[in-house]
Each structure stands twice: as C-alpha cells, then as structure tokens.
A and B are shown apart, each in its own frame.
Chain A
Amino acid sequence: MTAIDLCDWCEQVIQEYVDRELTEAEMKEAESHLETCSHCRKRYLFEASLRRYVRQSVPAMSPEMKARLSALRIEL
C-alpha cells in the first residue's frame, strides 16, 4: 500500500482499532502506521480521547440509589 492508501485504510479501521477489535496482524499494521504518520496519529489520539470523554460524561450512581438497590434483596 502507498502512504495515502495506508491513511485511507487507517481511517476505515480506526474505530475498530480503538475498540481493539482488529485481528492481531491488522493491529500491528495500524500501530506501525500510527507511529510514522502524524496526520493519522493526531486523529487517532483524538478518537481515543473522545472515547474517554464519553465514558466520563456519565455521572456515578448516588449512594442513596445504592442503598435502594440493596433494600431490594430478598430476605432470608
């Protein structure tokens, strides 16, 4: 693949790469491209950060809610 083909390929698989759903060989191929291509690396880091951001956007459960769930346990 040429460098431009590799960038196109990388964009196509970037979501699966972040999700660690590519095959081992594909993961290695993507990793080696990301090491050398700053255009794709910046966008990969953005996608990975966005994923973390989405994860953190959901607030934790309140202690009151936890107590309400515990109260649902069936008495022995």
Chain B
Amino acid sequence: MSETSSDEARRLADDARERVRFEEEALALADQVYRVARGVSRSKEEAEDLMQDAYARAFRSWRSFTPGTNLRAWLLRIVTNLNIDRGRRAQRTPDQQPLEETDYFLYNRLEAATGETEEERVLERLSQDNVAEALAAVPHDFRDVVVLVDIGDFSYADAAQILDIPIGTVMSRLHRGRRILKQELADLAVDAR
C-alpha cells in the first residue's frame, strides 16, 4: 500500500470511529430529547415523527456538530427548527389574552377551592392529564420555551441559543407561557368542578 492510500485508509477509519461515537452519544440522549419533542408536539405520533426526522437529519449532518459543545442543545435545535418548519406558521399568532396579575394565582385559587394549605395537597387537585392538556393549549412560541426550561431543564441562556432568540425574549415568553399554563390548569382543575 502506498503512503497516500494508507493515509487515506487511516483517515477513513478515524472518520468512521468519530461518526459511530457521535451516533452513540446522540442515541444516549434520545430519551431526554424525546421529552422535549413530546412537550412541543400535539400528539405522541407527531412527537415520534419529529424525532425520526430530527435524528435522520442529525445523523446526516453529524460533521456540523463541534465535539466538546452541548450535543443535547444541538439536537434540540434541530427538533425545534423542524417543528417550526412543519406548518406551525399556520397556527394562531402568540396569545394576547389578558392574564392574571399575580404569579401565585393558581395556588391561591386551588387553596380557595380545596381549603387545603399544604402545597402537595393543593397539587393533588391536578392530574397529569390536566398538565398535558394545559400545556398543549399554550401557544407554541411560549410552549417551546416552557418545555425547554421546565421539561428539558435548560438554562435561560441555553434555551435562547437553541431557539435563536435573545435571553430577554426567553424570560418574557417563559413568564407569559407559565401564566397561560396556570390559567389553563385553573380552568381544568377548579372551574370544571
């Protein structure tokens, strides 16, 4: 074997090793990525399609990932971009409904409805289905941020990077998104009874 072809063989072998390592690391993060994908999707089927497209794209473009940087954030950037591409522009524009003034209003309303003051007992009033339903009702621009921070456990700075928006926008969307979520929860858990 000539020196050039031996160099080429070594380069190809290194390349294959790197790609395998990338794929393994990406798959090891799939559970965490799925939770966010599920949070920003309207159904399990939609979340699974989104995951499949996102991972296919990630595996194809693995070279554009810089080793040593945050792979989970990189994968979620693909997920959120794909989700936006999937006709979500046709959805309604960000919600403009008036919101409750106090951040504690959900606690206050549940406490008033149940007479309970222990936070865990107050929370028992909510079911996980309530939470999923309420989350689905939050307009997508706000829901993306709530899901990244509350479910993905990302910092504001990471969420800003993933969604390519300023950190101040993350904070304002998070604030409003959580208020909307709480209003939906209050409607489901208190007013429906």
* Interface of A toward B, CB cutoff 8 Å: 11-12, 14-15, 19, 21, 42-43, 45-47, 49-51, 53-61, 65-66, 68-70, 72-74, 76
Contacts and interface: CB of A to CB of B under 8 A. Distances in A.
Most buried by B among A11, A51, A74: A74
A72 B38 CA distance: 19
Given A53-B128, A57-B131, A74-B59, A45 B119 contact: yes
Contacts of B59: 72-74
Interface residues of B, number: 47
**Secondary structure type dominating chain B contacts:** helix
Given A58-B38, A69-B51, A53 B123 contact: yes
Interface stretch (B65-73, B83-91, B100-108): B100-108
Interface of A: prevailing SS: helix
Given A58-B132, A74-B19, A69 B55 contact: yes
Contacts of B135: 54, 57
A68 B56 CA distance: 10
Interface in B121-169: 122-123, 126, 128, 131-132, 135, 146, 149-151, 153, 155-156
A49 to B, nearest CB: 5
Interface of B: 16, 19-20, 23, 27, 30-31, 34-35, 38-39, 44, 48, 51-52, 55-56, 59-60, 102-104, 106-107, 117-120, 122-123, 126, 128, 131-132, 135, 146, 149-151, 153, 155-156, 174-175, 178, 181-182
Contacts of A14: 103-104
Contacts of B156: 19, 21
B18 to A, nearest CB: 12
A15 B175 contact: yes
A15 B150 CA distance: 11
Nearest to A45: B119
A60 B19 contact: no
A44 B117 CA distance: 13
Nearest to B167: A21
A76 B19 CA distance: 9
B123 A46 contact: yes
27 contacts: A12-B103, A14-B103, A14-B104, A15-B174, A42-B118, A42-B119, A43-B119, A47-B103, A49-B119, A49-B123, A51-B150, A53-B131, A55-B150, A57-B128, A58-B39, A60-B34, A60-B35, A61-B30, A61-B35, A61-B51, A65-B48, A65-B51, A66-B30, A66-B31, A69-B55, A74-B59, A76-B20
